Structure 1
């Protein structure tokens, strides 16, 4: 007798996730209206991650004990290769989902003839502040389908638009296998963005569920809180790989130019910050001169720290008013 394939394969990359893994697995197993399997790809953890995953072996949870540490992309690819479900759902090992999420997303996708479905996220911060949805339900309700152009444009840094790069998609496995689509294992930052963008570029349709069903946890030290130059450079490399494989239409090309410009400005901004940290006058001037727009981004929350660095740099240089403070009105002879 042939075993019936599950509706959902949960793809879970795990690394030193022993403290949070049980909650993530339990939320996957608690899905209603669908059958599930959970595939935990352990990326050579040094804690009890494998033991935690193994304790669920009698509940359709499989552990893939990877032999070498390859990063989240490699772990997810291993899980995708082992998956048997009709749909693939990425679930981070420190997050959780509501019981009816997958049934709701699959129903919306199948009704719309789509190969991808996304929904709203509930943001949960480590400081204990009340949870809040990442996007307004009304805004998502007005956008029943996510296009490649919208997705790319939303992933421009330092912009006021919604960033759909945080979304946790559900993919039709047949579409993923038909196009041999995998996460780029050479990327340690932005591999999620490239994966979804690639699926959209290959013709997948993505429907949007405005209700939040995914609990997205933000912890201290996450990239969403600490943006470094290497992250920007990794994103730029990811875009280079993506553009080398896909041809974009007019709308997507325009959005890509917008995103590329924002990444370059962000890079200039961080080079400026690094120069000020290192008290390099020539480096600061060079960075500011190469992209004056980067100066605007110093109105970010780190402006107070930058102002202190600017003051130290003024003192070091023996200057009084030539170097402006940021986050407020420039202090210069011209006001």
Structure 2
């Protein structure tokens, strides 16, 4: 072991990300703890692979794997996991980038199977003016996440935008994932990170969350996380039901998972109603829903109408996941 071992593999699943992939790759290669950067091009029709290779630093750490057909982020990440050799795995979205020294800070903390830090969200239209030097480094607080608490912090309370812990991007110990038989669920194109983290916690993972900030997420109107299709939501409801059947869950964990499933089902009902209304009448769209579901749908429709009338917030400054 050297004073600064290279032991982290950064995994970047990318599709049509030519405009941003270079920044993501460069930020990962700049980290001295990084042994590998694996870009999995998920069936792009633009110049994503070339843009990734353009910023190669010649260290031999970058590999670009080109998939001929889009399989979704879960499949792309699983491919990278299988191809990588480093003992620690870290996910980086192709729109985003890592702040200098992130892995040094995280790897200095002991006693974890997964460890994550705070995220700063920056709107795409102001990202060009973003100064990483101004990022709040945090208080140094380290939380131990349990399953029930993690799940409940993925259920929005009020008009919270992108505040759920499912957005965190932990470093994960490969040996734990392999011992627990864990990988991304390739049926999911929404909340695949959340599902993996829940399964890790259910398998006994030590999951730490620090309040330092080392990850910059660029908010884009067209990002995958902003497009919740009906099929995506239906798959997440099925995953919620599967998570609730995991063995060894205590009462608190089961209650949290039930609450998350209700939240997801509410979003799915809303989407189904809108789909049916586009295809027919409002009355016809109401068919098949019970009174309680209809009341929730009406509340959600009213909420969306009110939100559409509100002026855009004047403050376009960065926001932090942990507040």
Which TM-score band applies after superposition, normalised by the shorter structure?
A: 0.7 to 0.9
For the pair 1:293 / 2:296, whether they are aligned, the reply is yes
Distance 1:273 1:45, change over 3 A: closer
Bigger shift: residues 272-281 or 126-135: 126-135
For the pair 1:31 / 2:50, whether they are aligned, the reply is no
What are the residue-to-residue correspondences of 1:1-335 with 2, within 5 Å? 6-32=6-32, 34-55=33-54, 56=56, 58-59=58-59, 60-108=61-109, 110=110, 113-128=111-126, 141=141, 144-156=143-155, 159=158, 162-277=163-278, 278-284=280-286, 287=289, 289-291=291-293, 292-303=295-306
Q: Aligned to 1:117, what secondary structure does the other structure show?
A: strand
Q: Compute the displacement of 1:274 (Å).
A: 4.0
Distance 1:153 1:136, change over 3 A: farther
Q: Compute the displacement of 1:41 (Å).
A: 1.2
Bigger shift: residues 158-167 or 262-271: 158-167
Q: Compute the displacement of 1:177 (Å).
A: 1.7
Distance 1:186 1:304, change over 3 A: closer
Q: Aligned to 2:148, what secondary structure does the other structure show?
A: helix
CA contact (8 A) 2:241 2:261 kept: no
CA contact (8 A) 2:187 2:235 kept: no
Distance 1:146 1:198, change over 3 A: same
In structure 2, C-alpha distance between the alignment counterparts of 1:288 and 1:272, rounded to whole Å: 12
Distance 1:38 1:264, change over 3 A: same
In structure 1, C-alpha distance between the alignment counterparts of 2:147 and 2:180, rounded to whole Å: 17
CA contact (8 A) 1:268 1:290 kept: no
Q: Which residue of 2 aligns with 1:320?
A: none
Distance 1:44 1:282, change over 3 A: closer
How large is the RMSD of aligned CA atoms in angstroms?
3.1
Larger RCO of the pair (alpha carbons < 8 Å, separation 6+): 2
In structure 1, C-alpha distance between the alignment counterparts of 2:157 and 2:88, rounded to whole Å: 33
CA contact (8 A) 2:240 2:260 kept: no
Q: Compute the displacement of 1:134 (Å).
A: 12
Q: Compute the displacement of 1:284 (Å).
A: 3.2
The one-character-per-residue Cα deviations of 1:152-190 (angstroms, maximum 9, x if unpaired) are 112225656741111111101111122221111122222
CA contact (8 A) 1:43 1:66 kept: yes
Q: Which runs of 5+ in 2 are unaligned?
A: 310-323
In structure 1, C-alpha distance between the alignment counterparts of 2:7 and 2:183, rounded to whole Å: 20
Q: Aligned to 2:46, what secondary structure does the other structure show?
A: coil
The one-character-per-residue Cα deviations of 1:34-77 (angstroms, maximum 9, x if unpaired) are 24310111112222222233342733101222243221111101
Distance 1:266 1:87, change over 3 A: same
In structure 2, C-alpha distance between the alignment counterparts of 1:227 and 1:81, rounded to whole Å: 28
